[in-house]
Amino acid sequence: MAGVNEPELLHAGLNLANHPPEKQAQVESDVFGFWVFLMSDAILFALLFAVYGTMLDATAGVPAPHTDFKFSSSFLETLALLSSSFAYGMVSLNLKLGASRRWIWGWLGVTFLLGAWFLRLEIGDFTDMVAHGETAQASGALSAFFVLVGTHGLHVTCGLIWIVIMAVQLAIHGIDERVKINLIRLGLFWHFLDVVWVAIFTIVYLRGLLA
């Protein structure tokens, strides 16, 4: 049992209150280390946003990225990713409640399908832009756009691969402590991608559509 002055871990799904203090410290260190990684990733995206902002007028005589934006498509992408975040929240809730693997598999599957739908919509947007001659090589503004949005899409792709890996780990190891920690890390990563996308939707798409 944690001492009076010792912080109690409140990460959903861990349930380590009755574990030895050294075990709690190790888990806390594992999760904190992943937070550090996410902060470094946030710096990367901050730099990409800064580059995009400075390159908006570097159109080189071709249409700016926002001329081919579609509100319906970007809205559906936002809906898909935010819904996937809710689905992963249900993964964490089921971990906390000690649900069976079937429930966790099910919500992981929903998260995966919504993330895949998001990627399909985004790739469709990119394909339309390229078909209209708006490629990454056409101007600085388009290069900054494709790098920023494409980097986020690459992260989503990595997240989808991670979901598949976690489904396999669940099948092999069950809901043991290490699998729980990995699922918590994946949840932090997935929710982080939602936050970044909300920033992209607001700064890139909404700003462009209202320009």
Mean local confidence (pLDDT), 181-208: 92
CA distance linking residue 26 with residue 179, whole number of Å: 15
Q: Residue 36 CB: number of other CB atoms within 10 A?
A: 9
The torsion of the CA quartet 168, 171, 176, 181, rounded to 10 degrees, works out to 20
Confidence (pLDDT) at 72: 86
pLDDT digit string, tens, across residues 41-95: 999 999 999 999 998 887 777 767 777 778 888 999 999 999 999 999 999 888 8
Tokens of 33: 């280390």
> For the chain, which domains are there?
21-209 (1.20.120.80)
